[in-house]
């Protein structure tokens, strides 16, 4: 059985985002009084009273810079929560944010969307990833929140 790993936003990107986000704005840290914000730096929900920053992030653009892909109009920027200071990253290899409906969006090596799948149960993610990567054209997938379409994390082939 293949194991799939959720990839948080990488340290170099986080360092840049903590200075200026992908929309060119400086982050404004805030205290998350209620908690529950999905943190993309450590792939967990924030605790009540924890400091967070909401920044604009372009996950496909950053991946394309690493790979030479040209996502064209599929390049998008959206809001993500991160810690405003460096953190330890994910504490476990378990797939995060599986407690709600999620979209698993597939991308080609060129950065084009190849389709997707709605995942409705926590135990269905492995099957959704296996289905996605069974297509040789799929290079990576994004897991996204259904209700807002927000990027949660990526999973890459191999």
pLDDT in tens, 120-139: 999 999 999 999 999 999 99
Domain co-membership, 75 together with 108: no
Q: How many domains does the chain have?
A: 2
- Would you say residue 73 lies in a domain? yes
Q: Is the pLDDT of residue 46 over 70?
A: yes
Domain co-membership, 31 together with 72: yes
Domain co-membership, 63 together with 113: no
Q: 154 — phi, psi (to 5°)?
A: -120, 160
- The token pair at 157 is 């082939």
Query: Helices marked H in 7-138 — which ranges?
Result: 11-19, 59-67, 125-134
Domain co-membership, 62 together with 22: yes
- Would you say residue 90 lies in a domain? no
- Would you say residue 78 lies in a domain? yes
> What three-state secondary structure class fits 16?
helix
- Would you say residue 41 lies in a domain? yes
Cα 79 to Cα 82: distance, rounded to the nearest angstrom: 10
Lowest pLDDT segment from 17-21, 70-74, 111-115, 154-158:
154-158
- Would you say residue 118 lies in a domain? yes
Q: Is the pLDDT of residue 51 over 90?
A: yes
For residue 29, the enclosing domain spans 11-82
Domain co-membership, 36 together with 78: yes
pTM of the model: 0.93
- Would you say residue 2 lies in a domain? no
In the numeric block, the tokens 């009273």 are attached to: 49
pLDDT computed for residue 8 by the predictor? 96
Among 82, 112, 132, residue at a domain's last position: 82
pLDDT computed for residue 115 by the predictor? 95
- Would you say residue 95 lies in a domain? no
Q: Is the pLDDT of residue 1 over 70?
A: no
Domain co-membership, 71 together with 106: no
Domain co-membership, 110 together with 149: yes
- Would you say residue 34 lies in a domain? yes
């Amino acid at each position: 059985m293949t194991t799939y790993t959720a990839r948080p936003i990488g340290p170099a990107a986080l360092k840049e985002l903590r200075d200026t986000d992908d929309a060119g704005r400086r982050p404004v840290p805030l205290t998350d009084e209620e908690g529950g914000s999905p943190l993309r730096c450590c792939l967990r929900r924030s605790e009540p009273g924890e400091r967070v920053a909401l920044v604009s992030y372009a996950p496909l653009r950053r991946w394309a810079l690493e790979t030479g892909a040209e996502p064209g109009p599929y390049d998008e920027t959206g809001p993500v929560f991160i810690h405003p200071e460096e953190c330890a990253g994910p504490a476990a290899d378990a797939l995060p944010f599986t407690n709600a409906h999620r979209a698993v969006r597939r991308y080609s090596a060129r950065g084009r969307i190849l389709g997707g799948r709605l995942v409705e149960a926590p135990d269905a993610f492995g099957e959704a990833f296996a289905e996605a990567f069974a297509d040789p054209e799929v290079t990576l997938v994004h897991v996204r929140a259904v209700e807002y379409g927000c990027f949660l994390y990526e999973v890459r082939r191999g």
